[in-house]
Amino acid sequence: MACDLAVVGLGYIGLPLAQRACAVGLSTVGYDVSAPVVEGLAAGSSHVDDVSDGEVAAMGAAGFRATTDPSVLAGAGTIVVCVPTGLSAAGDPDLDSLRAAIADVAAQLRPGTLVVVESTSHPGTTEEIVRPALERGSGLTVGEDFHLAYSPERIDPGNSSFTMSNTPRVVSGCTPLCAKHAVAFYGRLVDTVVVARGTREAEMAKLLENTYRYVNIALVDEVALFCDKMGIDIWDVLHCAATKPFGFTAFSPGAGVGGHCIPVDPRYLAVKAESEGFSFDMLSAARQVLGRMPRHVVQRVAGLLEAQGRPLRGARVLLLGVTYKPDIADTRESPAFAVAALLRAGGAHVSYHDPYVPSFDCEGTPLSRRADLAGALADSDLALLLQDHSCYDPTLLARAQCPVLDTRGRTAGVRVTRL
């Protein structure tokens, strides 16, 4: 069946793209290798924070359908690949999902199709990996028989101010004509299209955006470590510095970094640099600082408990918020995993409260979920605020019977200690 768009990978990138395409009137299909994802969408259920069940129903009414059958790609005028590109167990870039998706696309590719990759990867991926695989698998030639482009995703889960439509979109093509087709496609979805010189520039821009955040978060984390040593209030320091109307961008310290981009993208850049004989010293330093933060937080927990005459071993520690950012359900790369593991290694009994996360495992062991926040605070020896969900009333935390360690600088009180 012919359609305007086929989206490969219906996760945090692909499903919002498909939803936006349906909203502007593009006939759209989705392909995903996960049967539960496809079945859930068919039942009108969304698994992504930024797309509601109602929006999934509206997509279905507009003709959208999801499938695990790659043959659906054959009838699409444009195919956009939105599969995850994370890290392996060893912490190295993992392009297995991208390679598999491209193989599926190549097998169904038809002349005249525009193929766009949105998945994040190192500079050179489109030209050195995607292009040869598509040409080899299809027998077609980029720039002559079909068009190939790269456009890095800019999804920020939970951000209601900057959505797909009003966030400028960077696009690039393997040839000027490829780029022209990509501009025409994204021009229907977003308000502003920015054309990069080439695919390598667009790929590098994506890595720079998140590496910038990675490095600056590491900087403010290290400043927080120093301030703790000196007895300086880091949160007041940040408040004062942020009043400067130029030359300073505020970043907040915490237990670490999480999500699908910030902990991952710098690793892609570092590994690619190493393969080219270049060393990103700043990335190495940032990685060391960020890697120390979970242990620092646990040491602060142990210190607060000892001040109450209670050792960490046997203490009941309540984690408040285990997602990687506030008011979403996404736990990918959340520092809560490392903090929980270190607490349990120290002998603490760890439970958690998070209205967005029905279950949370620590190294294969499910943690006890507390539904009643007030009750959980009442029978814990210490509460650790890891994520500042809007449901966490600062007044309630300030009145908690147990000590509270606030890693987000959100509240204050006699029994509250801030990172």
Residues belonging to the active site = 261
DSSP structural state of residue 69: -
Q: Which residues contact 145 (CB under 8 A, 6 or more apart)?
A: 111, 112, 138
> In this structure, is the dihedral angle defined by the CA atoms of residues 63, 67, 72 and 77, taken in order, positive or negative?
positive
Strands 147-150 and 169-173, sheet pairing: antiparallel
Closest CA to 287 of 257, 261, 310: 257
Instruction: Give the whole-angstrom CA distance, residue 201 versus residue 184.
Output: 20
d(CA 262, CA 258): 7
Residues 156 and 242 sit within 8 Å (Cβ to Cβ) = no
E strands in 120-256: 147-150, 169-173, 193-195
For residue 215 the two structure tokens come to 């490095």
* Residue 355: burial class (beta carbons within 10 Å; 0-12, 13-18, 19+): middle
Reduced to 3 states, what is the DSSP secondary structure of residue 97?
Answer: helix
Cα 346 from Cα 312, distance rounded (Å) = 6
Name 66's bridge partners: 30
